[in-house]
């Protein structure tokens, strides 16, 4: 235990040192200067990026969680393999290709990027919802039924609280992936911080590249942190420990 802690702490110090070193290097080369010198553009791009992520993630949650719940109901169980395969297939297409394909349907702009990101976020959320609901001890459902709980009561009082850990983990994975993938929105004219990243690549300008990439990274880390906190609040204590074992 102590040894583990020691290694963990050492590792953390190394990572922090690397991050601080990177920032000093970037700042001393004035690579982050665009954020201050062109702050109005930065804020527009940041807002666009956040909108892309928020709109597509919320849509994905609203579709994938209910879909996962629906497909695990006895009535629709038989269709589970089909839906899972379709969603899996969607995930195997490279994200750039999804974007390109969407242009032919939706044209260029914000809505195309949102739609592609939405499609891309469905799988992790859907799969984790189904997995969370599937791994609940069948005896619990049997006991709940035998005591006279109605199906919706079993869903809201037993199934969802006990699979909340898995569902929220899926949402977290999807959102964090989404923040990174949203940088590609630039390719379809969707805006976002990808604009600076791609400009940096095309002009061999580390300043643009890093001024775009660092905020995206920080956004992803921040979202991960916040969603972990949310898990702590939303998952009941009893099922939390169970989910970890």
Partner 1 sequence: MITFNQVTKQYNGSSTAVKNVDFTVDQGKIVVLLGPSGCGKTTLLRMVNRLESITEGEIIIDNDNSKDLDAIELRRKIGYVIQSNGLFPNMTIEENVMIVPDLLGWSKKKKKERFNYLMKLIGLDAKDYGKRLPQELSGGQQQRIGVVRALAADPPVMLMDEPFGALDPIIREKIQDEFLAIQREVKKTILFVSHDIDEAIKMADKIMLLRDGEIMQYDTPSEMMMHPKNEFVSQFFGKDRAIKSLSLHTVKNLEEVIGLAQMDESIQDTKTINVHQDLRNTLSMLLNQEADQVIVTNDEGGKIGSITIDLVQKYLHFEIKGKMSVSQEG
Structure tokens at 226: 């916040």
Give the CA count within 13 Å in the CB-facing half-sphere of 137.
8
Task: Report if residue 157 touches partner 1, rule: CB under 8 A.
Answer: yes
| Listed ranges 44-52, 178-186, 213-221, 237-245: which one lies at the site for partner 1 (CB under 8 A) | 237-245
Closest CB to partner 1 among 29 and 153?
Answer: 153
Q: Which of residues 33-52 bind partner 1 (CB under 8 A)?
A: none
| Listed ranges 32-40, 146-154, 196-204, 208-216: which one lies at the site for partner 1 (CB under 8 A) | 146-154
Q: What is the separation of C-alpha 68 from the centre of its chain, rounded to a whole number of angstroms? A: 17
Q: Which of 147, 204, 233, 244 binds partner 1 (CB under 8 A)?
A: 147
| Listed ranges 68-76, 122-130, 154-162, 193-201: which one lies at the site for partner 1 (CB under 8 A) | 154-162
| Listed ranges 19-27, 55-63, 152-160, 180-188: which one lies at the site for partner 1 (CB under 8 A) | 152-160
Q: Which of 95, 162, 173, 178 binds partner 1 (CB under 8 A)?
A: 162
Closest CB to partner 1 among 90 and 161?
Answer: 161
Closest CB to partner 1 among 66 and 236?
Answer: 236
Task: Report if residue 150 touches partner 1, rule: CB under 8 A.
Answer: yes
| Listed ranges 35-43, 86-94, 132-140, 206-214: which one lies at the site for partner 1 (CB under 8 A) | 132-140
Task: Report if residue 135 touches partner 1, rule: CB under 8 A.
Answer: no
Q: CA angle, 175 as apex, 100 and 33 as ends, to 5°? A: 80
Task: Report if residue 234 touches partner 1, rule: CB under 8 A.
Answer: no
By CB atoms closer than 10 A (0-12, 13-18, 19+), residue 83 is middle
Task: Report if residue 146 touches partner 1, rule: CB under 8 A.
Answer: yes
Q: Which of 144, 193, 216, 219 binds partner 1 (CB under 8 A)?
A: 144
Q: Residue numbers of the site for partner 1 (CB under 8 A)?
A: 137, 139-140, 142-150, 153, 157-158, 161-162, 236-239, 241-242
């Amino acid at each position: 235990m102590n040894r583990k802690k020691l290694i963990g702490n050492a590792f953390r110090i190394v990572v922090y040192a690397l991050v601080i070193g990177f920032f000093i290097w970037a700042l001393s080369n004035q690579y982050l200067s665009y954020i201050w010198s062109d702050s109005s553009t930065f804020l527009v791009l940041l807002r666009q990026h956040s909108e892309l992520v928020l709109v597509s993630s919320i849509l994905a949650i609203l579709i994938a969680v209910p879909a996962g719940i629906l497909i695990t109901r006895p009535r629709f169980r038989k269709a589970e393999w089909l839906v899972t395969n379709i969603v899996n297939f969607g995930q195997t297409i490279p994200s750039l290709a999804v974007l390109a394909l969407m242009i032919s349907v939706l044209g260029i702009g914000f809505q195309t990027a949102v739609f592609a990101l939405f499609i891309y976020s469905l799988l992790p959320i859907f799969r984790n919802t189904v997995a969370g609901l599937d791994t609940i001890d069948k005896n619990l459902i049997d006991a709940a039924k035998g005591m006279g709980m109605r199906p919706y009561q079993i869903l809201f009082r037993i199934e969802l609280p006990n699979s909340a850990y898995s569902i929220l983990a899926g949402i977290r994975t999807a959102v964090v992936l989404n923040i990174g993938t949203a940088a590609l929105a630039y390719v379809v004219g969707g805006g976002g911080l990808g604009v600076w990243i791609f400009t940096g690549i095309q002009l061999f300008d580390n300043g643009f590249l890093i001024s775009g990439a660092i905020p995206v990274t920080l956004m992803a880390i921040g979202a991960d942190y916040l969603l972990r906190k949310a898990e702590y609040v939303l998952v009941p204590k009893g099922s939390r420990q169970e989910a970890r074992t």
